[in-house]
């Protein structure tokens, strides 16, 4: 178990783990709870961490363009991420501003998907639609419309602006906060009372 001794090691560790998690389906940070404001309510949901760009401070997730979290998505809207590692007792909270991936790069990504992945976006009903009583869960009938599915696929690149890291440990809990300093092009950090 890591014991965080030096402040900036915590930021380095966190980004290393995030990068690892985006490639490793077994990593505890492979999924995160992501929250945003939807019509004046804070909504949370689990998402899969699909990609991480450490240098650009970007976390990526995929979603259905019709889902509540992005309907509508104001420009530069804020998304908050929560990761938890139950073995190391580390909680990581991140604040970010989200940008939608543009159409060219979206199409490029889509072309790499297999049919199974594309099916996730092919349902005629939008996520959250009430289903009829006979139909307890959606089943695809006949051929699926992959052109339609493509228009439902959406990618959010969330640029991280601050981080709050907490580790519970028998030798003493530790909490650190980091804020991206645009002017200095680096993370500024501080220890916090856990």
Asked whether position 61 contacts ligand FMN by CB under 6 A, the answer is yes
The residue among 47 and 123 lying less far from ligand FMN, judged by its C-beta, is 47
Among the listed residues 32, 47, 149, 158, the single contact to ligand FMN using CB under 6 A? 47
Among the listed residues 1, 12, 124, 128, the single contact to ligand FMN using CB under 6 A? 128
Rounded Cα–Cα distance for residues 105 and 30 (Å): 23
Contacts for 191 with CB less than 8 Å, ≥ 6 apart: 7, 174, 175, 176
Angle of CA points 158, 160, 166, to nearest 5°: 125
Q: How far is the CB of 6 from ligand FMN (least distance, A)?
A: 33
The residue among 47 and 166 lying less far from ligand FMN, judged by its C-beta, is 47
The residue among 153 and 178 lying less far from ligand FMN, judged by its C-beta, is 153
Token pair, residue 104, equals 């060219």
Asked whether position 37 contacts ligand FMN by CB under 6 A, the answer is no
The residue among 69 and 174 lying less far from ligand FMN, judged by its C-beta, is 69
Asked whether position 48 contacts ligand FMN by CB under 6 A, the answer is yes
Q: In the window 151-180, what residues touch ligand FMN (CB under 6 A)? A: none
Contacts for 85 with CB less than 8 Å, ≥ 6 apart: 17, 28, 29, 91
Work out the number of other CB atoms within 10 angstroms of the CB of residue 53: 14
Contacts for 193 with CB less than 8 Å, ≥ 6 apart: 175
Reduced 3-state DSSP string for 40-84: CEEEEEEEECCEEECCCCEEEEEEECCCHHHCCCCCCEEEEEEEE
Q: In the window 62-81, what residues touch ligand FMN (CB under 6 A)? A: 62-64, 67-69
Angle of CA points 85, 87, 91, to nearest 5°: 30
Q: How far is the CB of 157 from ligand FMN (least distance, A)?
A: 14
Among the listed residues 6, 41, 46, 72, the single contact to ligand FMN using CB under 6 A? 46
**H helix or E strand, kind and range, residue 99:** strand 90-100
What track of x and - describes contact with ligand FMN for positions 14 through 33 (by CB under 6 A)?
-----------------x--
Tell me which residues touch ligand FMN (CB under 6 A): 31, 43, 45-48, 61-64, 67-69, 127-128
């Amino acid at each position: 178990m890591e014991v965080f001794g030096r402040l900036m090691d915590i930021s380095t560790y966190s980004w290393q783990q995030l990068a690892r998690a985006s490639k490793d389906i077994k990593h505890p940070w492979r999924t995160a709870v992501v929250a945003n404001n939807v019509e004046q309510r804070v909504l949370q949901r689990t998402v899969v961490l699909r990609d991480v760009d450490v240098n650009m401070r970007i976390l990526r997730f995929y979603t259905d363009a019709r889902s509540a979290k992005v309907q509508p998505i104001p420009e530069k809207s804020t998304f908050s991420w929560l990761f938890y590692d139950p073995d190391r007792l580390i909680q990581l909270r991140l604040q970010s501003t989200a940008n939608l991936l543009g159409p060219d790069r979206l199409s490029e990504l889509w072309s790499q998907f297999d049919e199974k992945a594309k099916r996730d976006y092919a349902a005629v009903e939008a996520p959250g639609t009430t289903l009829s009583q006979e139909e307890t869960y959606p089943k695809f009938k006949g051929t699926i419309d992959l052109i339609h599915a493509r228009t439902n696929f959406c990618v959010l690149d969330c640029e991280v602006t601050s981080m709050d890291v907490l580790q519970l440990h028998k030798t003493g809990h530790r909490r650190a906060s980091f804020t991206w300093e645009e002017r200095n092009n680096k993370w500024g950090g501080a220890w916090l009372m856990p």
